[in-house]
Each structure stands twice: as C-alpha cells, then as structure tokens.
C-alpha cells in the first residue's frame, strides 16, 4: 500500500509510530510493523489530540 508522508512521528520509549490525521479519521502505523496499519474514528482522535 502506498501511503502519503506521515504528518507526525511519535516516539514512546523504544517504539516509534507514524500518525496521519484527517477530519474524519486517523491512521497509525508502528515502524516495527509496517505491514499493519490501524485506523480510528473521530471520537478516538479527539481523545488523542486532547493531551
């Protein structure tokens, strides 16, 4: 799958993630497992961006 360049890179302890956000949903990918992506809905995105 071709992905656009990520908007964010998040580093948590020894793991790194790419994060894409839009008005309707978000997508996250662990850099140790680039074959799997996870999407989440706006309500979950609001929880993430409120911190």
Longest Cα–Cα distance of the chain, Å, equals 30
Q: Kindly report, residue by residue over 2-51, the tens digit of the pLDDT.
A: 778 998 999 999 999 999 988 788 899 999 999 999 998 765 556 666 65
The reported pLDDT for the residue numbered 40 is: 83
Q: What is the pTM of this model?
A: 0.71
Residue found by looking up tokens 């999407």 in the block: 39
For the chain, the three-class secondary structure string (H helix, E strand, C coil) is CCCCCCCEEEEECCEEEEEEECCCEEEEEECCCCCCCEEEEHHHHHHHHCC
């Amino acid at each position: 799958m071709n992905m656009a360049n990520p908007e964010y890179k998040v580093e948590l302890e020894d793991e790194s993630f790419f994060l894409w956000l839009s008005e309707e949903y978000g997508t996250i990918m662990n850099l140790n497992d680039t074959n799997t992506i996870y999407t989440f809905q706006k309500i979950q995105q609001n929880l993430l961006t409120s911190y």
